[in-house]
Amino acid sequence: MSSNYLKDFPLLKQPTANGKRLVYLDNGATTQKPLSVIKALEGYYGTSNANPHRGAYGLSVKATELYENAREKVRHFLGAAKTEEIIFTKNATESLNLIAYSYGLQFIEAGDEIVLSIAEHHSNLVPWQQVAKARGAVLKYMYVNADGVLPEEEIEAKITAKTKLVAVTHVSNVLGIVNPIRRIAAKAHSVGAVIVVDGAQSVPHLAVNVRELDVDFFVFSGHKMLAPMGIGVLYGREELLEAMPPFLCGGDMIEYVEEQDTTFAPLPAKFEAGTQNVGGAVGLTAAIEYLEQTGLDVIEREERELVRYAVERLQQLPYITLYGCGDLTNKTGVISFNVKDVHPHDVSTILDADGIAIRAGHHCAHPLMHYLGVNATCRASLYFYNTREDVDALLDSLSRVRGVLGYGA
């Protein structure tokens, strides 16, 4: 793993509060930002900021152009057919709620089944619980195997003629396993169901083409792929979005408002109520440009090499339990683990003293934690700008954790 990316990331070069070299391994939560993204934000607010779409003056026209250019950039990045199929939101969570409350409440009926995987983030699980309760539908789960892989027999058995919607993560934020989306989509479509894919942990790490995957909805958050916080994306097939009622109502999303009723604007505006995050969209444009210049194939390859190195070293520590690391064939840089006798929060605190930033807790995945038989885990989530030296620093610090707490080796 080359560290020549570090020159692009100011935050990664600054020491921690206690003067240690920062080893940032919480990329599953959010990624750091390259200078090109930071400068894009500065440039927008310094030269082009105005409220888009409605102003009849140059600055507003410029802001509108930047915003719509971002939409075209995302369309190309995801391989979508039309810009009308790209909706900007705040984040993946808002995108998933939009699908649940607009598509779900409109088209899911009593007795229909909604199929999830047990590895879903709460953002792709709790909204579907609300829809199931509101409509009298049934929630069913596909369960992963001991290696965190979703077996073919679960896909085949759980998606049936009663299934109306399948909502599944492309990559789990706990297990890091890439799910067989094309297979799941084919099975969903064979029974007349739609498929919603949560791409929050896949889009930053591997090339995604929504038409090749043949998905109906796909979501992601910009902040997990080098972009600013506050900008997310919902991709939806045009014909489905056209049939859906608005999610949020107000300015920009209307065609005409009378005292008792309103006609709505065409796609994508129908789903973009109020003043939009133009700065975030400009930052997302710069983030996609950085990823495309780096190469998602390069990112995926380098990350797989680094995760293999990290797992091989972790497997040599007898007091470490790994989750989702038995089959590295389709694994991104997410590594969940526990240290014998030590709570993940204590592990994270001790590692922090050595400059190492990992996540500890339930990762907004309570049902998966329960299924794994744990309350919480530690999680190191690698990205292309991490290095073998970062992994070595993690292992060195981990080797001291039990000793620090008096458990011996």
Ligand X SMILES: Cc1ncc(COP(=O)(O)O)c(CNc2co[nH]c2=O)c1O
Of 23 and 365, which CB lies nearer to ligand X in the complex structure?
A: 365
Cβ 385 vs Cβ 336: under 8 Å: no
Quick check: bond before 34 cis, omega within 30? no
Q: Which of 201, 285, 332, 387 binds ligand X (CB under 6 A)?
A: 201
| 3-state secondary structure at position 381 | strand
Of 91 and 285, which CB lies nearer to ligand X in the complex structure?
A: 91
User: How far is residue 389's CA from residue 12's CA, in Å, rounded to a whole number?
Assistant: 14
Name the CA radius of gyration of the chain, rounded.
Answer: 22
**Span interacting with ligand X, options 149-157, 196-204, 345-353, 395-403, rule CB under 6 A:** 196-204
Of 221 and 377, which CB lies nearer to ligand X in the complex structure?
A: 221
- For the bound state, the minimum distance from the C-beta of residue 204 to ligand X, rounded and expressed in Å, comes to 10
Of 63 and 202, which CB lies nearer to ligand X in the complex structure?
A: 202
- For the bound state, the minimum distance from the C-beta of residue 333 to ligand X, rounded and expressed in Å, comes to 12
Q: Does 91 bind ligand X (CB under 6 A)?
A: yes
Q: What is the DSSP letter of 101?
A: I
| 3-state secondary structure at position 115 | strand
Q: What is the DSSP letter of 356?
A: E
Q: Does 28 bind ligand X (CB under 6 A)?
A: yes
Catalytic residue check, 378? no
Q: Which of 97, 102, 123, 285 binds ligand X (CB under 6 A)?
A: 123
Q: Does 142 bind ligand X (CB under 6 A)?
A: no
- For the bound state, the minimum distance from the C-beta of residue 330 to ligand X, rounded and expressed in Å, comes to 16
Using alpha carbons only, give the angle 169, 173, 179 rounded to the nearest 5 degrees: 40
Q: Does 97 bind ligand X (CB under 6 A)?
A: no
Contacts of residue 134, Cβ cutoff 8 Å, sequence gap at least 6 = 105
Q: Which of residues 309-348 bind ligand X (CB under 6 A)?
A: none
**Which residue has tokens 């995108």?**
95
Q: Which two tokens stand for residue 53?
A: 């779409």
Cβ 87 vs Cβ 233: under 8 Å: yes
Contacts of residue 129, Cβ cutoff 8 Å, sequence gap at least 6 = 139
**Span interacting with ligand X, options 4-12, 77-85, 87-95, 189-197, rule CB under 6 A:** 87-95
- For the bound state, the minimum distance from the C-beta of residue 175 to ligand X, rounded and expressed in Å, comes to 10
Q: Which of 169, 276, 336, 338 binds ligand X (CB under 6 A)?
A: 169
User: How far is residue 164's CA from residue 10's CA, in Å, rounded to a whole number?
Assistant: 47
- For the bound state, the minimum distance from the C-beta of residue 228 to ligand X, rounded and expressed in Å, comes to 12
Query: Which residues are identified as catalytic?
Result: 364
Residues that bind ligand X (CB under 6 A): 28-29, 91-93, 121, 123-124, 169, 173, 198, 200-201, 221, 359, 363
